Structures are given as structure tokens and as C-alpha cells.
Amino acid sequence: MRPSCPREAGSWYCPGHAQSFPASRNSNDWKEITLYSTPKDNHGDHEGSRAVSAASIDPERTLEREHHTALIIVLASIMAIGPFSTDMYLPAFLAIAGGLKTDIAHVGLSLTSFFIGVSVGQIIYGPLLDRYGRKRPLMLGFLVYTAASVGCAFSPTIHVLVGMRFLAGFGACVGIVGSRAVVRDLFSGTEMARMLSLLMMVFGIAPIIAPTIGSFVVSVFSWQYIFVVLAAIGLIIFLAMGRFLHETRGHDASISLHPRNVMLEYVDVFRNRVFVTYGLVTAAATAGFFSYIAGSAFVYMSLLGFTETEFGFIYGGNVIGLVLSNQVNRILLRKHGIVKVLRMVTAFQFLLIILLLAGGLTGFAGKAAILCLIFCYLFGFGCITSNAIALALEPFTRNAGTASALIGSLQMVAGALSSGLLSCLHNGTIVPMLSIMAGSTCIGLLLLFGSAPIATRTS
């Protein structure tokens, strides 16, 4: 039944209410979807998505209710392939070293090559996702990932394994870029941030269960079967995309893939003040998180005296906190604007890390205080990244894939710099790790409270 709202530009338009649109261009059947909007904009806070004219909505790109759950699972799986690919084979390092007659250091190169593949691949996939749509590059990337994982399982030497892991990272990274671009196609403003938080909740399960699965596989079978399992996961996701993931953006021949034009496209994205501000906020938060990742084993086991088993439980507990934070973020976004939530959480996170740093410098903080404050710091990380990424992508529609790829690259660079700086500053105390975490949060705070621009759609 058509709504009793006024009609504008030949389309039914009713802000904040359910609206009806033709099911297709050649059909008079009607389906109902919901667009969200609020009449106020509080100092740049996005209290909700802006009202969007029905005439600007392509009905064939609309997210149908019955596909909502399937889409969330598929997108979260696409995002989770990265942590699954790293965390699942970590317990097999010793077995791999023995099987390929090498040492742990050389096996570690396979992890490095994976991250290099992720970094390089994101820059390449961004323009491809904008030129050819979202679905085809995503499926191509997962074919590469699946084939590379099979290659890992049959690697005769460590050098072949390192090369195959590079290709696996190159294929897997499309999930990071593509999933964010799909979310940007379907959602805007606060709704985009809530959707990213929901995906991060499901995505956060991967680091919890992946090491356990890897330990089981390597103990019952052999290290090769870990990559067989990863290949099977890649194939399942590939088939699920073919069945449940609908194209959200069609082919755009106006986007050139010439290297010079691709570089100009990235430069154009980076000139956007909104993107730079919130992209750097995301990168700063990632730098603090990677400082924790790189230093946590030393702090928890060497300084605080926890066993390897206890460290595993602590690490897993912090990951659970990250998952829960995204649910809290979704609740907060129902009552407050996205910028307001981002500022509040970042300020709270900065206060926590300053207290922890002061405790580390004075020796006042005990085990319980350190565990609690780090848990709360990481809890804030989940809220910050979802909201900052949503705001950074908000100005882009035509080149959302390029913008998503650039955010991913900024995160990888920030994480690498943070980890490298921690190695340089290492002095046998907790202070270097906490100092980098505090400095990173301070940078994010200055960006947000300095002159954070309002995110508006431009391209």
C-alpha cells in the first residue's frame, strides 16, 4: 500500500518513515523499506542519516529485509578471513619449521609476506571495486585466496610458502576494502556506523576461535591441513557471495585504471578534508591498538608473570571486550550523534591511558588495575574505529572503494610504524607500550576537538 505522504519529484518521499518504491523499473509491485532521518544537526553531529529523496534511490540496490541477516553474515565472513588467516596458523609455527626444515624466524617471514600482500592488494582493489562493481572483484580476490591457500598446503620449501602467503594476503585484503564499500553503498551516516559496528561484532569472533581451531588441526592432523581448512573457508565464502551478495554498484566505465589516473584518484580522495580528519583518527586508533598487540605478550608474561595459558585467556577476554564495544556503540548511536559519540569515547580512552601511564611510571598500578584499564582502553577502540571509518567514507559514493582502500592502507602503515617504534623504544618496562598508546590517542583527540569537519556526501 502506498504511503499517505506528500509526493516529490515524481517519487514518494516521507522522511523518517517507511517508504514504498517500485520493486523494479518494469514492475508495479511495491515493497517497503525504511530510511532514517532526523531534523536536526547538532554542531556537526550526525544524529541520523540525512533525509534522502526517493528519486535518488535505486530500488534494485535496496537492502531487502529477508536478505539482511544473510548479508551481515557474508560481509562479516569476508572481513574475518584476514584474522582467520593469521591467527589460525600461529600455533603451527613450530610444526611448519620442523616440516620444512627451517627455523621460526623464516616461518615468521610468511606472516610478514601476508601483511605485505594485504597492504599492496588494498591499493589495487580499491579502483577495481569502483570500476567493475563490488561483487566481481570480491569473488576474484577470494578465488586467488583459495588457490593460494591450497598452494600453502603443498609448499615444498619455506620460500614457496612465503610466496604463497603473499598471494593469500593479496586475495584476502579485498574483503576489508569490499565489505566497507558495500556498507557505504547501502547506508549513510549513523546507520553506516551502526552497520559497521554490527559487522565488527561478528568479525571479532574470528580472533577468539581461530587459534583454538588451528591448535586442534595441527595436533590431530598436520600443519598442512590448516591451509586446507583455510582454503575450504575461502571456497565457502566464495559460494556464499555468489548466492547472497547482490551487486550494490554497477560497472562505471568513467573510472580509469591507468596508473596515472589511479594515483590522481587517490590524491583526490586524500584532498577531502573530511576523509583526512577521520581517516587519520582511524589510523591513530589503529597505531595504539598495534602497540598493544606488539607489546602485550612481553607485558603480560615477562613483566606481570602470567603463564602462556593465562595470557591466552586475558587476550581472549580483551577480544570479547572489543566485540561487546561494538554492541554498546550501536546503542549509543540510537541516542547520540556519531561525532558526539566519537569524541566522548576518545576522550574517555585518553583519560584511561593517562591514568595507566601514570601508574606505570610510578609503579603504583598493580596487576588488576593494568588488566582493567587496558580492557577499557581496547573497549573504546571498537567504538572509535567503526564511527571514524563511517565518517571518513561518508563523502564518497562514486569512489567509495578507493576511499576504503586508502583507509585500510593508512591503518596498515600506522600499525607498522607503531610496532616498529615500540621495538626501538623497548627498555624492559611497560612504559614504551603505554606511551605509544597514549600518544596515538592524543593525536586522535586533537584531530576531533581541533576543527573536525562535518561529513557530507561529495562524490
Asked if the model's pLDDT at residue 53 lies above 80, the reply is no
Looking at the fold, whether 87 and 130 belong to one and the same domain comes out as yes
**E strand intervals along 299-382:** none
If you count them, how many residues does the chain have? Answer: 459
The DSSP element (H or E) to which 8 belongs, if any, is strand 7-8
For the residues of 106-120, what is the DSSP string, one character each? HHHHHHHHHHHHHHH
Looking at the fold, whether 49 and 103 belong to one and the same domain comes out as no
Q: What average pLDDT does the segment 160-189 reach?
A: 85
pLDDT of 6 reads 40
Question: Has residue 105 been placed in a domain?
Answer: yes
Provide the grid cell at 52.
Answer: 534522502
302 secondary structure, DSSP code: I
Asked if the model's pLDDT at residue 321 lies above 70, the reply is yes
Looking at the fold, whether 233 and 311 belong to one and the same domain comes out as no
- CB atoms under 10 Å from CB of 305, counted, come to 9
Radius of gyration of the chain (CA): 23
Identify which of 224, 146, 200 has the alpha carbon closest to the alpha carbon of residue 321: 200
Asked if the model's pLDDT at residue 20 lies above 60, the reply is no
Provide the grid cell at 453.
Answer: 569537519
- SS3 (DSSP) at 45: strand
Provide the grid cell at 346.
Answer: 576518545
Contacts of 247 (CB under 8 A, 6+ apart): 61, 133, 134, 135
Q: How confident is the model at residue 112 (pLDDT cuts 50, 70, 90)?
A: confident
Question: Has residue 200 been placed in a domain?
Answer: yes
Identify which of 403, 128, 124 has the alpha carbon closest to the alpha carbon of residue 255: 128
Number of domains in the chain: 3
CATH at 411? 1.20.1250.20
Looking at the fold, whether 266 and 297 belong to one and the same domain comes out as yes
**15 backbone dihedrals φ, ψ, rounded to 5°:** -55, 135
Looking at the fold, whether 133 and 163 belong to one and the same domain comes out as yes
Question: Has residue 334 been placed in a domain?
Answer: yes
- Cα(149)–Cα(141) distance, integer angstroms: 12
Question: Has residue 309 been placed in a domain?
Answer: yes
- Cα(279)–Cα(129) distance, integer angstroms: 19
Looking at the fold, whether 18 and 148 belong to one and the same domain comes out as no
- Cα(358)–Cα(432) distance, integer angstroms: 12
Question: Has residue 1 been placed in a domain?
Answer: no
**122 backbone dihedrals φ, ψ, rounded to 5°:** -60, -40
- Cα(431)–Cα(402) distance, integer angstroms: 37
Provide the grid cell at 114.
Answer: 601476508
Task: Give counts: helices (H), strands (E), the chain.
Answer: 15, 4
Identify which of 245, 198, 223 has the alpha carbon closest to the alpha carbon of residue 387: 198
Which letter, b or e, does each residue of 260-286 get, where b requires 16 or more Cβ atoms within 10 Å of its Cβ? eebeebbeebeebebbbbbbbbbbbbb
From 215, 233, 255, the end of a domain falls on 255
- CB atoms under 10 Å from CB of 391, counted, come to 28
Q: Which range marks the domain in which residue 271 is found?
A: 256-459
Encode pLDDT of 71-111 as tens digits.
Answer: 778 888 888 888 888 878 877 878 888 888 888 778 878 87
Asked if the model's pLDDT at residue 51 lies above 80, the reply is no
Encode pLDDT of 265-304 as tens digits.
Answer: 888 888 888 899 999 999 999 889 888 877 887 888 788 8
Which letter, b or e, does each residue of 189-211 get, where b requires 16 or more Cβ atoms within 10 Å of its Cβ? bbbbbbbbbbbbbbbbbbbbebb
HSE of 181 in the Cβ direction (CA atoms, 13 Å)? 37
Encode pLDDT of 397-454 as tens digits.
Answer: 777 778 888 888 888 888 878 877 887 888 888 888 899 999 999 999 999 887 655 5
Looking at the fold, whether 291 and 436 belong to one and the same domain comes out as yes
Looking at the fold, whether 205 and 273 belong to one and the same domain comes out as no
Residue with cell 586508502: 406
Looking at the fold, whether 54 and 118 belong to one and the same domain comes out as no
Asked if the model's pLDDT at residue 55 lies above 70, the reply is no
